[in-house]
Chain A
Amino acid sequence: MSTQLLAVEARGLTKRYKTALAVDNIDIAVPAGCCCGFLGKNGAGKTTTLKMLVGLKKPTVGSISIMERPQLFGRGGSFGYLPDVPNFYGYMNGAEFLTFCAKLCGIPAAARGAKVKALLEKVGLSKARAAISGYSRGMKQRLGIAQALINDPQVIFMDEPVSALDPIGRRDVIDIIHSLKAGGDKTVIFSTHILNDVEEVCDYVLIIEKGRIMAQDYLADLKARHKRDEGEVRFHDAETAAQFAAAVGNAPAEGGLLAQPISPVAFTLRLPGADSRQLSRHVNALLHAHALPMESYAAHNPSLEDIFYATINNEGGAL
């Protein structure tokens, strides 16, 4: 049994509406200090789950702990929360809104000004003097992150922080998440359906589909579990590729190398029972024996996209 501190733990979490089961008896265990990507298609149950975790929605059944303290419906906490479409009091400016949040969080007056200034600088809004009603979507998202960090929380929940942002806005938000992760003492949980962002910044992954958690683990462990001993060879021209196909077809004694064409000049290769290193050696020997020049050879490492599709298409249940 693991003794690792869990930043977020949920047991048997269920949310049932009149006509739909939005979240179906899920268990979540996110270790402290990690950056967790919460993945799922639109409507998979990400927002409902996050809202239950932060106490804005009441679970039909189930219990939640944040940093090993019970989290109850209707109670705030010392965590930070960024909603999917953050809205603010449009008549305030960014500094006024953060000061308001700082007061709500009980930050002493002496520390408030410096805290607000530091956060505005961190999210790139220190020069924004206008009322929030004039902010762009990206600016609002950054202000939303700043308010989520105002009380220096150990756990930060972000609901789709990069959706609907332009590439520059998205880059800014991802960089902020990187900087939070770099500190090492915060747990960031953010929902998204942009797999590249998760692959770039997260070290832990939750995958939800139709209200059920289909996978949750460290990204490295998930990748190791989904690793396939496959490679991809690419030739300069179709003629060489055809010669390679013939060589593979004429050499059953070579150990059963399987070559699946993926284009006129490229093949996916697999050698049953062999790992990626043995496969690479085997392919090299074959190419050398037939004097076939190749353009490139690469071992297949599963991307998060491969894992995601494999996971949500897994009919057998959670991985």
Chain B
Amino acid sequence: MNHFLVLLEKEAREILRTKKLLVLVCVFLFFAFISPLLARFMGEFFEFLLPAAEAEQFMALFPAPTWIDSYVQFYSNATQMGTIVIILLFMGLILREKRSGTADLVFCKGVSPASFVLAKFTVAGIAALLCLLVAILINYGYTVFLFGEGGALGHVMAGAGAYGLFVLLILAWVILASTLAKSTGISAVLGFMGFMGLLALSAIPRLGRFVPGGLMTQNIPLTLGNFYPDFAAHLGVAAGLTAMFLVLAVWILKRQEL
């Protein structure tokens, strides 16, 4: 059994037993169930809370909800809160092992930094993508149930896939930050700075074309089947940055003393 497979098995056991997967599943399932409900019943909710006259004025301001609002709610929750939860859950992946000394035991047995980093990325990535997949399918089914339609499933998956790729990019960045940082606090700050930095850079008109922030902000057009102009560029840049962050993490870890 090669080192990568052994570490993959260990990481899978870790994410299950330390309840990280449970937290991730709960967070994304919550978004999956709450988003269609909020979209469908937001009007009724205000009608119930506000006096009749004000409620009438309020309802007049907003058009009747459609199935699209269900995805708007889902992505506004998942891409913000979901990404923050992912950063918080995985920000100590490398750092914790270095600080506790478990990395000493593993590396003394001839494990390469590449196997060590890639096993962590693979398991965290699969867990996050699985949670996202289950959540978007539930969101889709619930949307169909509440609105009578939920869009083309292929397009829905494209919207989720774009965000999934963004999640992998963030995970790679978090792993790099965790390799560089000497404390959990610094690791967390670096993780959030990367996330905010990507969003800020993608808002700059010319530069934004090459910064893959659109993968988490353009999910609704994708869900509607509209592939925005920079989509392909964002996919390529996200994949490239993900690989670069992982290679950098391995390169740094190889040179670090424990």
Contacts and interface: CB of A to CB of B under 8 A. Distances in A.
A112 B218 CA distance: 51
With most chain A CB atoms within 10 A of its CB, the pick from B14, B18, B108, B254 is: B108
Given A86-B101, A89-B10, A105 B109 contact: yes
A91 B16 CA distance: 10
A42 to B, nearest CB: 18
B104 to A, nearest CB: 5
Contacts of A104: 3, 6, 106, 109-111
Nearest to A52: B257
A126 interface: no
B258 interface: yes
A76 B13 contact: no
Nearest to B106: A104
Contacts of B57: none
B61 to A, nearest CB: 52
B1 interface: yes
B145 interface: no
Given A76-B111, A103-B1, A87 B6 contact: no
Chain B interface: which size bin? 20 to 34
A22 to B, nearest CB: 12
A101 interface: yes
A73 B110 CA distance: 11
Contact of B105 (A73, A91, A103, A147): A147
Nearest to A101: B109
A75 B255 CA distance: 11
> Residue among A79, A83, A86, A89 with the most chain B CB within 10 A?
A89
Given A89-B10, A91-B18, A92-B13, A75 B110 contact: yes
> Which of B102, B106, B109 counts the most chain A CB atoms within 10 A?
B109
Q: Identify which of A54, A88, A100, A101 gathers the most chain B CB atoms within 10 Å of its CB.
A: A100
Contacts of B3: 104
A76 B14 contact: no
Contact of B6 (A57, A58, A79, A100): A100
Interface in B104-142: 104-111, 113
B206 interface: no
A74 B18 contact: no
A15 to B, nearest CB: 10
B102 A87 contact: yes
B101 A76 contact: no
Query: Per DSSP, are chain A's interface residues mostly helix, strand or loop, or mixed?
Result: loop
Interface string A98-124: 001101111000000000000000000
Given A56-B258, A100-B6, A87 B1 contact: no
From A55, A76, A96, residue with most partner B Cβ within 10 Å: A76
B6 A103 contact: yes
A51 B100 CA distance: 15
A88 B109 contact: no
B53 to A, nearest CB: 58
A235 B109 CA distance: 60
A57 B110 contact: no
Contacts of B10: 89, 100
A85 interface: yes
Contacts of B113: 74
Contact of B107 (A76, A87, A89): A76
A92 B16 CA distance: 12
Interface in B218-258: 254-255, 257-258
Nearest to B10: A100
Contact of A89 (B1, B6, B14, B108): B14
B17 A81 contact: no
Contacts of B258: 51, 56-57
A62 interface: no
A77 interface: yes
A260 B167 CA distance: 80
Q: Which 8 A-B pairs have the closest CB atoms?
A: A76-B110, A91-B17, A87-B100, A103-B6, A87-B101, A104-B109, A81-B108, A56-B258
14 contacts: A57-B257, A58-B257, A74-B113, A74-B255, A87-B101, A87-B102, A89-B14, A91-B13, A91-B18, A100-B6, A100-B10, A103-B6, A104-B3, A104-B111
Given A73-B257, A91-B17, A103-B1, 18 more contacts: A51-B257, A51-B258, A54-B108, A58-B257, A74-B107, A74-B255, A76-B107, A76-B109, A76-B110, A83-B105, A85-B101, A87-B102, A91-B18, A92-B13, A100-B10, A101-B105, A104-B3, A105-B110
Interface of B: 1, 3, 6, 9-10, 13-14, 17-18, 100-102, 104-111, 113, 254-255, 257-258
